[in-house]
Structure 1
Amino acid sequence: MTKITIGRMSRVIVIGAGMVGLATAWHLQERGYDVTVMDKEGVAAGASWGNAGWLAPAKTIPLSNPSLWRYGPTALLDADAALSMPIRFDPRLWGFLARFMGQATTRAWDATMAALTPIDLEALAAFDELELGGVDAWTRKGPFVIGFEEESQAAGFLREIEGAVRHGQEAPLTPLDDVQSLAPMLSDAITCAYRLDGQRFIEPGPYVEALGRAVEERGGVIRTGAEVVSVNGDSVVLDTGERVETDTVVIATGAWLPALARDHGVRTPVQAGRGYSFSVETEQPAEHSVYLPHHRMACTPYQGRFRIAGTMEFRRPDEPLYPRRIEAIVNQARKVMTGVDLDNRQDEWVGSRPVTPDGRPLVGRTATENVYVAGGHGMWGVVLGPATGKFLAQLIDTGETHPAIRPFDPLR
């Protein structure tokens, strides 16, 4: 149980100022906690900044699926493929990949989808709660446009949507005859398209920055510039040597989570699944999110431009941006887009998303009293962050585990 000190608010240090960490901090404040958020770089400095900003529960599904057995081996030999990893001696990486591929079965996909569905169903309402609570940011509704060059390419996507619906999701999907009416940047190469309703998107960097401001406006402290190097149940130690006392610690450091969580009994590996993105101008304004599953590209309007995101690159989280991965996305985009200035790119970015082998996040109490973790969401940290923060704050405050996070026991 959480340690409460009589005579003052219980203190919590949240390590990590991304969507998950800040949402946890905000909900702890709702429950009366004194919160300090620590991040070595700053708010939204990691995977929370440059992603596609999708709030799409119907697509918040397991990453590992049976198609990997067909696609994965050939992708490693294709420089333009969305899946990429270095061919080098790295036992930890290859061990993770073996476990990840071990989940690429229909049975495992269904088990993980069953585990994700309860929190998927809470995801959008959790954003509404933040905004009603004073977070000065928006979510935007509207159809997602899903495009393919030929009908046969849609089979895998349709199976995924069917699987999400079978597990309890709502995913209104209808054929789209005039794709350019909603997505004028898609060329005539796209001959098969659908519209997916019931989803939303955000501008992720600005949204997370607004959440950070809300935490500070309510009395929270966000400390940057120093790295937490060790965690105890009653304190954290910074790389400066400073020891900061607290009553409770939440580790929400994304792809870097194992460095601090391993000493507290969290043994599930977390691998950086790095995503790349950039923004471009379009001849006609982009108004809706666009998904090109065959080319593994997720696109969304972003501050008057069009953000194009893609790639699942398994490397170490701190490795530099590899321009060849940007080129790979551009090469794919040229096949299916028109009226898009792909040579005048801005905001080129790489971010490390925290991927677990079984596709389930790590959310809950560790083996050390008063130390909790929140991470391992893979590509879904933005959409699941607010709900994760809400239910983890409930656990810290009451000792009760909400059913939506019960499958994510970090000690599994």
Structure 2
Amino acid sequence: MAACAASARGLATHKKPQQVVIAGGGVIGCATAYFLAKEHGIGPTIVDRKSIAAAASGNAGGFLARDWNDGSPTQEMTHRSFDLHATLAEDLKKYGATDYRRLTCVAVGVDGRTAVQKPGGKKLENVDWADSAGVMGMRPMGDESTIAQVHPRKLCDAFVAAAKDLAGASVVEGCASGLREEDGRVTGLELSDGTCIEADAVVLCMGPWSHALGRPKTEKLGLRGDSDYSGWGLQNCPLVVGTKYHAVLLQAPRVLSQSVFFQGLGDPEVYPRPDGEVYVTGSPDPADIVRDLPGETEVRDEVCDQLVAKMNVLSSELKDAPINHKQACHLPSAVDGVPVVGELRSGAYVGYGHGCWGILLAPATGEALANQIATGESPFLDLGRFDPRRF
């Protein structure tokens, strides 16, 4: 009873912020901006060094699975988010998020050596487009009730367009370098050009660069360039590392409607899109502190060429398919593998570390952060297990 009373007193004293600044224009920051605007009438300012969806959020596959995280700390977040994606598909359609669809998914086991020696083979039963002489078997991993996809860049752009339309949100190009504080509360976001954007609340959603604001100026992260992300900001902000994935975008001769996770031959993952484009990724680099700057990730041609060569072996339909694009990005993860979401100190909030599930988990994360910022509580998602102060 006493705990409930204390909680009620805390909510009673929570003051709804009038000015919110979000550092980071990736999917978590964009989703937070949307829910602040839609649910609370707050039009935040989004600050990004490059542009909206310049890093992983603009280069991700957009694969959504409702039950793959069951039994993990993100189970509740995953279920809430998967359902929100379906609602958002209708709400954001007029803002350009038109690529949401349900599809199926299978895992295909491949003997890589046999596949390379004898490429081509019979189509597998219940497998839409994959074939290989080295196939050892398949198993279903989901149908239209549990598998879906979005186009991540279009989703980010739609979040921002809607936030502007609903509550006058804005986007500013700039490099976050620190937080301004007065009397123990954050009052603004400092930029590397010496200016400061005043705010009642600041949200850090900078993916694998988020923790850099928590390092003293004397402790360099070894980032390439002018060490823009070696500010002082939040002490003890949890460390986050990035796992670099390359991807190639191929143009299939027809629209495919089944995602395939190959097991063997480097375990490539393939996500077909509704416009006939096919997203192929796999063979990640080891996780490490990210030294590429946002929007400037090095793309290694040899890794992309290996992905193309694997698809030439694994699918006669995608053999020698036109290459639309080669790309790479860093997927951010906290050191314990659990997303970091919530209030770190008075007026300062964080949302990052979702690993390969950033696009999937963005709606529930953005909704929860927006509610916590505006009201002091998160009614649809328990943020306790994601509390940044757990470190």
Q: TM-score, normalised by structure 1?
A: 0.74
Does the CA contact (< 8 Å) of 1:275 and 1:310 recur in 2? yes
Counterpart check, 1:360 vs 2:338: yes
Cα 1:320–1:246, aligned 2, differ >3 Å: closer, same or farther? Answer: same
Counterpart-to-counterpart distance in 1, 2:372 and 2:160: 22
Counterpart-to-counterpart distance in 2, 1:224 and 1:348: 28
In the TM superposition, residue 180 of structure 1 has moved relative to its aligned partner by 6.3
Given residue 148 of structure 2, which amino acid in structure 1 is its aligned partner? R
In the TM superposition, residue 229 of structure 1 has moved relative to its aligned partner by 1.1
Given residue 58 of structure 2, which amino acid in structure 1 is its aligned partner? W
Cα deviation, 1:99-138, whole Å, max 9, x if unaligned, reads xxxxxxxxxxxxxx43111111212122134344445424
- Correspondent of 2:269 among 267, 287, 298: 298
- Correspondent of 1:206 among 144, 154, 160: 154
Who is 2:80 aligned against? 122
Who is 1:56 aligned against? 65
Counterpart-to-counterpart distance in 1, 2:342 and 2:319: 45
Counterpart check, 1:183 vs 2:117: no
Does the CA contact (< 8 Å) of 1:41 and 1:224 recur in 2? no
Counterpart-to-counterpart distance in 2, 1:220 and 1:129: 22
Counterpart-to-counterpart distance in 1, 2:193 and 2:357: 33
Which one has more relative contact order, counting CA pairs under 8 Å at least 6 apart?
Answer: 1
In the TM superposition, residue 363 of structure 1 has moved relative to its aligned partner by 0.2
The 3-state SS of whatever aligns with 2:359 is helix
Does the CA contact (< 8 Å) of 1:271 and 1:356 recur in 2? yes
Counterpart-to-counterpart distance in 2, 1:351 and 1:128: 26
Who is 1:166 aligned against? none
Counterpart check, 1:375 vs 2:346: no
Counterpart-to-counterpart distance in 2, 1:231 and 1:405: 23
In the TM superposition, residue 298 of structure 1 has moved relative to its aligned partner by 2.0
Cα 1:261–1:342, aligned 2, differ >3 Å: closer, same or farther? Answer: farther
Does the CA contact (< 8 Å) of 2:103 and 2:148 recur in 1? yes
Counterpart check, 1:332 vs 2:310: yes
In the TM superposition, residue 182 of structure 1 has moved relative to its aligned partner by 4.4
Cα deviation, 1:192-235, whole Å, max 9, x if unaligned, reads 12232211111222222222221222233332432111123111
Unaligned runs of 5+ in 2: 1-9, 112-121, 181-185, 216-232
Does the CA contact (< 8 Å) of 2:42 and 2:167 recur in 1? no
The higher radius of gyration belongs to 2
Cα deviation, 1:79-111, whole Å, max 9, x if unaligned, reads xxxxxxxxxxxxxxxxxxxxxxxxxxxxxxxxx
Counterpart check, 1:249 vs 2:220: no
- Correspondent of 2:51 among 42, 52, 58: 42
Who is 1:103 aligned against? none
Who is 1:145 aligned against? 106
Counterpart-to-counterpart distance in 2, 1:399 and 1:210: 26
Q: TM-score, normalised by structure 2?
A: 0.77
Does the CA contact (< 8 Å) of 1:255 and 1:270 recur in 2? yes
Who is 1:10 aligned against? 18
In the TM superposition, residue 290 of structure 1 has moved relative to its aligned partner by 1.8
Cα 1:351–1:222, aligned 2, differ >3 Å: closer, same or farther? Answer: farther
Counterpart check, 1:389 vs 2:385: no
The 3-state SS of whatever aligns with 1:215 is helix
Counterpart check, 1:225 vs 2:170: no
Unaligned runs of 5+ in 1: 62-112, 151-176
Counterpart-to-counterpart distance in 2, 1:287 and 1:209: 24
Does the CA contact (< 8 Å) of 1:51 and 1:275 recur in 2? no
Cα 1:34–1:50, aligned 2, differ >3 Å: closer, same or farther? Answer: closer
Q: Tell me whether 247-256 or 52-61 shows the greater mean CA deviation.
A: 52-61
Does the CA contact (< 8 Å) of 2:48 and 2:175 recur in 1? yes
Does the CA contact (< 8 Å) of 1:281 and 1:341 recur in 2? no
In the TM superposition, residue 293 of structure 1 has moved relative to its aligned partner by 3.7
Given residue 312 of structure 1, which amino acid in structure 2 is its aligned partner? P
Given residue 51 of structure 2, which amino acid in structure 1 is its aligned partner? G
Given residue 184 of structure 1, which amino acid in structure 2 is its aligned partner? W
In the TM superposition, residue 291 of structure 1 has moved relative to its aligned partner by 1.6
RMSD: 2.6
Counterpart-to-counterpart distance in 1, 2:276 and 2:336: 37
Does the CA contact (< 8 Å) of 1:216 and 1:222 recur in 2? yes
Counterpart check, 1:268 vs 2:238: yes
In the TM superposition, residue 258 of structure 1 has moved relative to its aligned partner by 0.7
Does the CA contact (< 8 Å) of 1:317 and 1:352 recur in 2? no
Who is 2:193 aligned against? 240
Given residue 176 of structure 2, which amino acid in structure 1 is its aligned partner? V
